[in-house]
Structure 1
């Protein structure tokens, strides 16, 4: 199989898992926010399974494609769903629920993917292989996306959950990090590994933090189908 054909094959079994994972993750935030009093996402048409409404050119298209070419797997993100937390009926509690909705959606999608593996033996060989690869990749993508987003650093979902659950003084201190949160994530995910690799001491702090959790989730979910 030549390089182009191999890349197209990778796309065919990664595209759907990535698109569903990042699209429904964001839609879940908006759906829960709407139920708890903030209609912003609904009014902007963001409570939708239509990927076009959530596409971020860099995070939804370019980043997954580059990862497929360089690392053999795909990962990405969508445009964040707008939520006006002031509209929530119980802002402190509901902020936690809205933030947790995205990773919860990822867990549910991973469970659905495991369930779909049970119909694989009843399909023709080519369809069975395609569906099995999609389902396994869906478990991986959703485990990675859900776990990454639960890192307790605002504005990631886990950071907003932590702000809502911590005692108020500690929560306020953590909330002050939010304007710098994505810069910290960028440095930790891209710059630190690049620099440390150049120095001959490879170190990826984010990977070191979440890899054991991701591995546990994937093994646990696949073990439900006897594939752990």
Structure 2
């Protein structure tokens, strides 16, 4: 595959924006709720340079794009949050965690609404803007849905820890060091093992794809793009 600057501009640009705003939102809400850890480190900022992880934000998405991966994702440097410093640690944890996915849904709504202005531009510029907006819509919804999976350290896991009764929250919280291994297991290893036995064990990815599709269609309806 011959990757072009055009391909990079319509995929990496919306991905960098989505990830940057996601992380900045965590830091902003944490600061408002009493934890200034991220603020002191300059992470309450929408400047991408402060959040970019060279591998997760740039190299990994480029590799996936070049390798014809059916999905494109990445990550930024996580914003440090001291949940004990929040005025109400449990509820604060929920609000800080959900701030990222909510921000991504807002960005997806803005991208979808902006479709209405594409026709005002010259043809070449209109196509470039349309591709950026289309990818921004998809990327932001995928980030929001994926991050709301109830597995720490994903945002959904921290929301669950903050809302569940203590007897359930504590065991779930203890999974955080192993969260990424669990994700790799259920999203990559389990489907691979299943395929060896002729079984479709790609259940989680199927749920994520279906949910993402529904949310994208809802956003298109809400923004008058049907």
* Equivalence for 2:222: 224
State the superposition RMSD in angstroms. 1.7
Q: Which of 2, 23, 28 is 1:26 aligned to?
A: 23
* Aligned equivalents of 2:84, 2:223: Cα separation in 1: 43
* Equivalence for 1:60: 57
Unmatched tracts of structure 1, length 5 or more: none
Is 1:184 the counterpart of 2:186 in the alignment?
no
Note closer, same or farther for the CA distance 1:57–1:202 as it changes in structure 2 (3 Å cut). Answer: farther
* Equivalence for 1:134: 132
Q: CA deviation at 1:196?
A: 3.0
Report matched runs for 1:141-180 at 5 Å.
141-180=139-178
Report matched runs for 1:96-135 at 5 Å.
96-135=94-133
Unmatched tracts of structure 2, length 5 or more: none
Q: Tell me, yes or no, if the aligned pair for 2:112 and 2:225 is still in contact at 8 Å.
A: no
Task: Give the secondary-structure state (helix, strand or coil) at the position aligned to 1:71.
Answer: coil
Q: Tell me, yes or no, if the aligned pair for 2:26 and 2:99 is still in contact at 8 Å.
A: yes
Q: Tell me, yes or no, if the aligned pair for 2:22 and 2:99 is still in contact at 8 Å.
A: yes
Note closer, same or farther for the CA distance 1:124–1:72 as it changes in structure 2 (3 Å cut). Answer: farther
Task: Give the secondary-structure state (helix, strand or coil) at the position aligned to 2:45.
Answer: coil
How many residues in Structure 1 have an aligned counterpart in Structure 2? 225
How does the TM-score come out when normalised to structure 2? 0.93
Q: CA deviation at 1:226?
A: 4.4
* Aligned equivalents of 1:88, 1:225: Cα separation in 2: 36
How does the TM-score come out when normalised to structure 1? 0.92
Q: Tell me, yes or no, if the aligned pair for 1:153 and 1:181 is still in contact at 8 Å.
A: yes
Q: Tell me, yes or no, if the aligned pair for 2:186 and 2:204 is still in contact at 8 Å.
A: yes
Report matched runs for 1:47-86 at 5 Å.
47-69=44-66, 70-71=68-69, 74-86=72-84
